[in-house]
Structure 1
Amino acid sequence: MVSDSAMTADGLSTGLFVLGQTEALRLAEQEKLAVFLIVRDKDGYRTAMSSEFAKLLR
């Protein structure tokens, strides 16, 4: 979670964590949030990011 405010980023990242990957990314896209997720599954770890986060990598 990238935000101009550390408090906002902290609060949103906690909420997004509780939602899980699918809903977190859906909300991130809807609200245009810059989000990068590291998700653990049965095969190890994988990553996912919102389109707003991808823009930061350009």
Structure 2
Amino acid sequence: MVKTEKRDKQLPKIYSKQQILKSKQYFRKDLLEALLEEGQKYSHDQVKKILEDFLKREAK
């Protein structure tokens, strides 16, 4: 059973768009609503990168 717990901690947690939007971890829910796709699953690292990349883009 210890091996299973270790393995679970090593794998990134994957969440749906709706789960991420309900999370208290993110404060830019308006951006996430627009940037994340329905039916896709995201890890926290992926969401963080998506937000960072969008915020770093130059305005046109």
**Is the TM-score greater than 0.5?**
no
Q: TM-score, normalised by structure 1?
A: 0.30
TM-score, structure 2 normalization:
0.29
Which structure's residues are more often helix, by fraction? 2
Larger Rg: 2
Q: Which has the higher contact order (CA 8 A, sep 6+)?
A: 2
Instruction: Name the structure where strand makes up a greater proportion of residues.
Output: 1
